Structure 1
Amino acid sequence: MAAERQVIVVTGASSGFGRLTAVALARDGHAVAAGMRRTADRNAPAVAALHRLAEEEDLALSAVELDVQSQESADLAVGTVLDRYGRLDAVVHNAGHMVLGPAEAFTAEDLAAVYDVNVLGAQRVNRAALPHLRGQGSGLLVWVGSSSTRGGHPPFLAPYFAAKAAMDALAESYAAELIRFGIETSIVVPGAFTSGTNHFANAGGPSDTAREEVYEEPYGELRAGLTDRLNRLIPPDARAESVADEIVRIVGLPAGRRPFRSHVDPSKDGSEVVSIVADRIRAEFYRRVGIEDLLSSTASL
């Protein structure tokens, strides 16, 4: 049980890591607003299920309409949470969208759409939430990243990996710019969990299908077996819930003790070692330029 209840917004909480995180945080005693779009139609069943669970287990858990592709929606969602609970303590940036296909077959507009969800979506939510967090002089941003930003890049996932890399860079810059307002940053880096979420099942594709077909003859067999190959990297006992568990752990830590980056990668491919070394180099840089207080948000794992 959480030592102190916090009010938390989780984006992209209709399914997958988002829903698992929202439920886990509520079960730990926090008040959670599970952000999702289209709560009145497409996601109405998810909203109903969430509210039933909250009633059955007496949880402070409820859905809030939040489309990260709309600044108006983000502003309204944060306003709703503030009206509902009177405060806001943390935001979990989880909303994202995966696409699969040859990089060449994605138009510039296709890439922009992926970037819009995975990067600009977090920016919109930040612009809605940060004035309140800055005003109270405390807060926490948790960014759900991807191990691709610190490890290898399997083919046919380029637009998604590019967007997650951009989100990671945005999170790092925000960390330095927000720490003096008392707002901490933690980047949680899941590995390639191929079950327990709808990430792969709901993946999109390129709009230029003619160019996509060009890749079928030389790469068709490889593409067809891509998910199976990723599955073989994951131990059979891997649980998507472990990502939610780590977010709960981070939220529950005292301010100044939260890790800057935390890997939840059951494949143990070594990318977390690269990340730890990079974080230490960055910490030394901040020390040299005099940003001492940032070091409190870059604690080792």
Structure 2
Amino acid sequence: MENQQVWFVTGASKGLGLVLVQQLLKAGHQVAATSRTKQDLITATGSEQSENFLPLEVTLTNEESVKNAISATVAKFTKIDVVVNNAGYGQVGTLEELSDSEARRNFDVNVFGSLNVIRYVMPHFRAQHSGKIFNIASVGGFFGNFPGWGIYCATKFAVAGFTESLAAEVKPFGISATVVYPGYFRTNFLSKESLTVPANPIPEYTEVRAGQEAHENEINGNQAGDPEKGAEVLIRIASEQNVPVHLFLGQDAYDMAALKIKTIESDLENWKDLATSTNFDN
């Protein structure tokens, strides 16, 4: 295959990651895919380890596990061209009701897991003077007006922030980094195995509980985004020489980003005179 690439995809046993891996294998790419359980990954993809497929059982919060997975991928395929940091989970709960451990756990997986992958793949990318990194955030990593999703949004804002810095850091080496902000896609993200609820909910947050119930019972299964089309977009962009730093995936993500930008522009102009009066010479 003339344009065959080697992909490393985390969180590949379900959701967008699973669809992406299935499409990549069908297109003839070589894929290393990770999940917490190797058998779940093999069952979900319908593929055993083969010439083009390397299923890996990885604990992303464990540096040694990540390091070994990267090494195994390079040993099998000789290189890695594209990394997709897709693994993560949703955490519902207000800032008041979520415990420190609940919040830190979400950051451990959604933020530090991706940083572990980046840390161990970068030496290979720098050596080959090429590579593309796609960090899957969420539209909630740009537009945070979701009551009850503050910690989750914070993890995804973190992903957006470090991806911007990463893009600047690695550009001199011919490497790109893109933060992907998916909107609502029809995956199992809102199902019980992917969405964690607060251990000690506070009854007074009636609006948040209503929103939580809506996400679990009304929005779940009725999302407008087609994960097959989402995966196609990622594969297409990975084949381009010049890729965006920011990719808003889905019409809803685009619309929410546009609304956020309009709000920021309004605040900038409405408070410009006061906010810019802080220099010594003013």
- Contact 1:105–1:206 (8 Å) recurs in 2: yes
- Contact 2:90–2:189 (8 Å) recurs in 1: no
Q: For 1:90-239, what aligned pairs fall within 5 Å after superposition?
A: 90-193=82-185, 195-202=186-193, 203-207=195-199, 209=200, 212-215=201-204, 220-227=209-216, 230=219, 234-235=223-224, 238-239=225-226
Q: Gaps (5+ residues) in structure 1? A: 278-301
Q: Gaps (5+ residues) in structure 2? A: 263-282
Instruction: Give per-residue Cα distances to partners, 1:208-230, cap 9 Å, x unaligned.
Output: x1xx1433656544442344564
The 3 A distance-change label for structure 1 pair 62 and 218 is closer
Q: For 1:240-251, what aligned pairs fall within 5 Å after superposition?
A: 240-251=227-238
- Contact 1:91–1:141 (8 Å) recurs in 2: yes
Relative to the length of structure 1, the TM-score reads: 0.78
The 3 A distance-change label for structure 1 pair 3 and 258 is farther
- Aligned match of 2:7: 8
SS in 2 for 1:52: coil
CA–CA distance in structure 1, aligned partners of residues 160 and 60 of structure 2: 17
SS in 1 for 2:47: helix
Q: For 1:255-274, what aligned pairs fall within 5 Å after superposition?
A: 255=241, 257-267=242-252, 270-273=255-258
CA–CA distance in structure 2, aligned partners of residues 153 and 261 of structure 1: 19
CA–CA distance in structure 2, aligned partners of residues 24 and 75 of structure 1: 26
TM superposition shift of 1:11:
0.6
- Contact 1:50–1:61 (8 Å) recurs in 2: no
TM superposition shift of 1:128:
1.1
How many residues are aligned here?
Answer: 261
CA–CA distance in structure 1, aligned partners of residues 209 and 87 of structure 2: 30
- Contact 1:103–1:159 (8 Å) recurs in 2: yes
- Aligned match of 1:31: 30
TM superposition shift of 1:272:
3.9
Deviates more, 1:260-269 or 1:104-113: 260-269
RMSD across aligned C-alpha pairs, in angstroms?
2.6
CA–CA distance in structure 2, aligned partners of residues 139 and 276 of structure 1: 30
The 3 A distance-change label for structure 1 pair 53 and 220 is same
Instruction: Give per-residue Cα distances to partners, 1:14-33, cap 9 Å, x unaligned.
Output: 11111111111222221011
Query: After TM superposition, where is structure 1 displaced by more than 6 Å over at least 4 residues in a row?
Result: 274-277
